[in-house]
């Protein structure tokens, strides 16, 4: 896996970031998403300092990520329950077969 140096623009500043080639497009999308959040926050509060805007954007993105992770965990619980029931049934079948 080779690391590629790519140039991105955030808040009208250029940054060079190393990323695996396979993750380049994802990084570009992340930068685009960050810029969109920053623009939305700047539009809502034009007097906010740049540092605060960036912190708010990071907080918003982190919050979005946690909401998605929590939703995924809640949806994963039923599948874990099914897996446990299946394992229990397999064990019961094995015990029944070993008795015969």
- pLDDT (tens digit, 9 = 90+) per residue, 82-93? 788 888 888 888
pTM of the model: 0.68
Residue 41 scores a pLDDT above 70: yes
What domain count does the chain have?
1
Neighbours of 59 (CB within 10 A): 12
DSSP labels, 26-84: HHHHHHHHHHHHHHHHHHH-TTS-HHHHHHHHHHHHHHHHHHHHHHHHHHHHHHHHHHH
1 pLDDT band, cuts 50/70/90, is confident
- pLDDT (tens digit, 9 = 90+) per residue, 47-68? 899 999 999 999 999 999 999 9
Tell me, rounded to whole angstroms, the distance of Cα 37 from its chain centroid.
15
* Alpha carbons 50 and 28: distance in angstroms, whole number: 21
Range from 4-8, 25-29, 43-47, 56-60 carrying the lowest mean pLDDT:
43-47
Query: Which domain covers residue 50, as residue numbers?
Result: 3-98
């Amino acid at each position: 896996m080779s690391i590629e140096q790519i140039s991105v623009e955030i808040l009208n500043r250029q940054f060079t970031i190393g990323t695996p080639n396979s993750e380049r497009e994802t990084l570009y999308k992340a930068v685009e998403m960050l810029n969109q959040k920053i623009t939305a926050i700047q539009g809502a509060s034009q007097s906010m300092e740049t540092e605060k805007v960036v912190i708010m954007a990071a907080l918003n993105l982190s919050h979005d990520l946690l909401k998605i992770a929590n939703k995924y965990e809640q949806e994963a619980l039923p599948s874990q329950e099914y897996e446990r029931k299946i394992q229990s049934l397999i064990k019961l079948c094995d015990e029944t077969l070993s008795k015969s």
